[in-house]
Amino acid sequence: MEDLKKSLRDVSEMVSAKMEEFQQRLIATQSRSPSLEQTPLAKEFEVFKSSVLFCLENLQAQMAMLFKVQDEQEMRSRRKCLLLHGVNETKDESSGSIAKMISVLLKCPNLTEQSLTRCHRLGIISREKPRPILIKLREHDDKLRIWAAKTSLKGTGITLSEFLTKSRHSLFMEARKRFGVTKCWTRDGRVQVIGADGKLRRISSLKELDTVPDSIPLSSTTDDPRLRGDKTCNKKGSKKV
């Protein structure tokens, strides 16, 4: 990633230098030419600018694809991970005690310390709230069983979430903000949203989130007399005489 950042910095410096050079030449020419846009230099500048913009657009597209692939790979490495929130911190907590607690709360008797490959707190110690616990399961099936049983935590003050990448977590938070908690969730790192039209969609970017309808157009409800509450229609949809 550092090499990539350096390359982008070099390209940016080169483009800035070229643009500045052309700008100075155009300024010098402007005082001698009553019609700047007709000069060969002005045409040359326009061709150069178009070429640069085309290259930058392609570079941005390639960068977006690269980051998407990297995000997919990072999320794949987290597919067996879960975050446990709201568990009070104690001095004697261990992988075994955490596994036992999860087993009891979620009614998963087969879950033991040997089922976990990692189990530790994340972040800096705070007096305001306990740090989340990262647990990584040895088997993906165990992760799915725990995830499916998370409704058993209702009312305990403890919640369970997937260990999302930074970009997916931001996307998930934005989706919840727009559509509400009950209409958004994640499954195996995929953000899923139910739009106003009742359709379930899997989204991976803000651009895709913008395409999810957050309301039903008025015309779609007023066109049908039954939906707009027209009392002149009977149950079969025909008007009363």
CATH of the domain at 114: 3.30.70.1820
Question: What's the pLDDT score for residue 138?
Answer: 93
Asked if residue 186 belongs to a domain, the reply is yes
Percent above pLDDT 90 for the chain: 41
Identify the DSSP state of 87: P
pLDDT per position as a tens digit, 117-168: 999 999 998 888 999 999 999 999 999 999 999 989 988 899 999 999 998 9
Q: 62 and 6: one domain?
A: yes
Nearest-angstrom CA–CA distance, 166 and 47: 39
Asked if residue 239 belongs to a domain, the reply is no
Q: 49 and 89: one domain?
A: no
Q: 157 and 90: one domain?
A: yes
**Cα–Cα nearest to 138, from 146, 127, 128:** 146
Residue 124 sits in which domain range?
79-163
Q: 181 and 145: one domain?
A: no
Residue 74 phi, psi dihedral angles, 5° rounding: -65, -40
Q: 104 and 51: one domain?
A: no
Q: Give the residue from 43, 59, 77 where a domain finishes.
A: 77
Asked if residue 73 belongs to a domain, the reply is yes
Number of domains in the chain: 3
Asked if residue 241 belongs to a domain, the reply is no
Percent above pLDDT 70 for the chain: 80
pLDDT per position as a tens digit, 70-122: 889 999 999 999 999 999 998 888 999 999 999 998 888 888 999 999 999 99
Q: 159 and 180: one domain?
A: no
Q: 67 and 105: one domain?
A: no
Q: 131 and 190: one domain?
A: no
